[in-house]
Amino acid sequence: MTPMRVALHSVLRPGTEADYDREHERIPADLAAAFDRVGIHEWTIWRVGDRLFHLVECDDFDAALRALADDPANERWQARIGRFVDRFVGGTGGAPAPLPEVWDLRRQRQDSSGSSSR
């Protein structure tokens, strides 16, 4: 199975940026192990001001979220980190919602390699 990439956008509560960054210096080992179990291979977060941009590489994002919903490591992490996150953009009820992909250079190159050049 080819891993999927999912982009997310969330917003921090005002004034929590430094604390959020500090909490992410190293996530708990049991949470990283839970990510492995549910098929999350990579999760990168960029921050600009109070805006967070996430890139998740996983087997199945929706299935991973369902599997994490009752995971004790994730519950502890959400209780800890949830105080910093105001919302996910595009999500309902504060839940993460993947951003629609607009363009992918790698895919364009792959598509173009099969066609003849002009």
Tens digit of pLDDT for each residue in 53-80? 999 999 999 999 999 999 999 999 999 9
| C-alpha closest to that of 30 among 84, 68, 60 | 68
Q: In the prediction, which pLDDT does 116 show?
A: 53
Distances (CA, A) of 20 to 33, 55, 70, 83, 109: 21, 17, 23, 9, 37
Q: Which secondary-structure segment (H or E) carries 65?
A: helix 61-68
Residue 93 amino acid letter: G
Q: In the prediction, which pLDDT does 118 show?
A: 46
On the question of pLDDT at 47 being above 80, the answer is yes
